[in-house]
Amino acid sequence: MSQSSLTPEERYQALVKVLREREGVTLGTPGKKGFGSSELKINEKIFAMLSGGRLVVKLPRARVDALVEAGLGQRFDPRRDGRLMKEWLTIEPAAEEQWLPLAQEALAFVGAKR
């Protein structure tokens, strides 16, 4: 089965499987439902999640700015009220080839913060 034939949820689960092999990476908050229930964390800090069928990753603000400018994603608007999160990027399902590299970049960024 090719990646493009997978739903965003299936693609995210495949990404989770790869990233959970990394030391310190955990999935979700036990017992939590809704927002944040399927987030990927490193050192108890979220670095990636699925929201509305899109991958959401935490990256440095300048990197998010560059990716938005290049048309590779949009700033994350979790409340859908125009208040954008400057260090969070959403990546469309159509940009599936970017999902794993950007999630790995987010893991490295958030994992380096103490």
> Residues 74-102: pLDDT tens digits?
999 888 888 888 999 999 888 889 999 99
pLDDT tens column, 4-47: 688 999 999 999 999 999 999 999 866 666 555 689 999 989 99
Q: What is the largest CA-CA distance in the chain?
A: 39
* Domains defined for the chain, CATH in brackets: 3-112 (3.90.1150)
| pTM (2 d.p.) | 0.87
For 56-79, the three-class secondary structure string (H helix, E strand, C coil) is EEECCHHHHHHHHHCCCCEEECCC
Residue 53's φ and ψ, nearest 5 degrees, are 80, 5
